[in-house]
Amino acid sequence: MSANSSQSPVGRRHAATYDSPFMKACRRETVPHTPVWFMRQAGRSLPEYRKVREGTAMLESCMRPDLVTEITLQPVRRHGVDAAIYFSDIVVPLKAIGVDLDIKPGIGPVVENPIRTRADLARLRDLTPDDVPYVTEAMGMLTAELGATPLIGFAGAPFTLASYLVEGGPSRNHEHTKALMYGDPRLWADLLDRLAEITGAFLKVQIEAGASAVQLFDSWVGALSPADYRRSVMPASKKVFDAVAAYDVPRIHFGVGTGELLGLMGEAGADVVGADWRVPVDEAARRVGPGKAIQGNLDPAVLFSTREAVEAKTDEVLAAAKGLEGHIFNLGHGVLPTTDPEALTRLVEYVHERTSA
């Protein structure tokens, strides 16, 4: 049976969500209003999230289908966003294949034994659907609840996963990562290729379980120059996008501080390129080039200002997006933990009102 058969989860989700504003915008079609969703919309900004997560470690919560379902649905219920994004963490597939890591509060992912030699590479085995049964179960529960609202699957991009694995945790300067990339380019290429295979397999599981679109997060790739990105990162990112191309679901690519990389990120194979708040969306579209939708890009810190200021800055984003083939309104990075949820709800309503046909 083909991936797009109407009898498969992929086919059923295509049919249910095909005409949603979010999916239309991804395809650069006319929309009834500009669709809105927020990176990290499910998370610490919501009191209901803090309550349901109380006493449960982050990685455990990512592996419990009941919690994943509830947390993913919370912002859809509260804010009326046009898409849900699957609640997980970019290191989940690494944990699933046996990498010794944990997500430490206030720090982030920490890897017990960093990967820095060819012998270390052998610890990264292939990922199979049997490694992540909780993903398939949670996706099924979510798609049943969401109906016509698209569910976005996601994964961390090979460079960002590699930076965590090589550094052993979050890093400001990525010195170990760059030392490996420059000093042993063959090992680096093999590491990213292996991570591309793992990431592609993880996204396939999500699509086959019913995700309507997928987003590849390259959180740290803004630390690279365009030449380094093209030579040392782009082949692996392209391999991920190629791995899911046959499913015909929109593929979104986002990174932080990637203004100089936007065109290359589009070349890697994304249908939608996300811009952070540093580059206006019209300029982002110019850099990316034709044939791609643009996602973004209100500065998340703006939401701490007055309602009038939020609306004024939102108008700037919408004005910059006017005339683009496809625009999905989002923040230029994730929702900050202390954001007032009411500000997000008002923002969704405002964008819908201002852009309604």
Give the length of the chain. 357
Catalytic annotation present for 44: yes
Supply the DSSP symbol for 354. H
Query: Which amino acid makes up residue 165?
Result: L
Helix count (H) and strand count (E) of the chain? 17, 9
Q: Give residue 115's Cα distance to chain centre.
A: 24
d(CA 284, CA 112): 38
Rounded to 5 degrees, φ, ψ at 31 are -120, 150
Catalytic residue among 13, 28, 49, 53: 53
Helix (H) / strand (E) element for 215: namely strand 213-218
Is 346 a catalytic site residue?
Answer: no
Task: Indicate if 53 belongs to the active site.
Answer: yes
DSSP state, 129?
A: G
Select which of 89, 228, 242, 248 is catalytic. 89
Annotated active-site residue in 12, 27, 44, 123 = 44
Is residue 164 part of the annotated active site? The answer reads: yes
CB 260 within 8 A of CB 226: yes
Straight-line distance from the first to the last Cα atom of the chain, in angstroms, rounded to the nearest whole number: 39
Q: Collapsing DSSP states into helix, strand and coil, what is residue 225?
A: coil
| Catalytic, out of 13, 28, 40, 194 | 40
228 catalytic, yes or no?
A: no
Report the chain's C-alpha Rg in angstroms. Answer: 19
Cβ atoms of residues 61 and 101 within 8 Å: no
Catalytic residue among 49, 86, 134, 164: 164
Residue 292 near residue 265, CB atoms below 8 Å: no
Provide long-range contacts, Cβ within 8 A and 24+ apart, for 64-73: 64/134, 65/134, 65/137, 65/138, 65/141, 66/141, 68/134, 68/138, 68/142, 69/138, 69/141, 69/142, 69/145, 71/42, 71/43, 72/42, 72/138, 72/142, 72/151, 73/142, 73/145, 73/146
Active site residues: 40, 44, 53, 89, 164
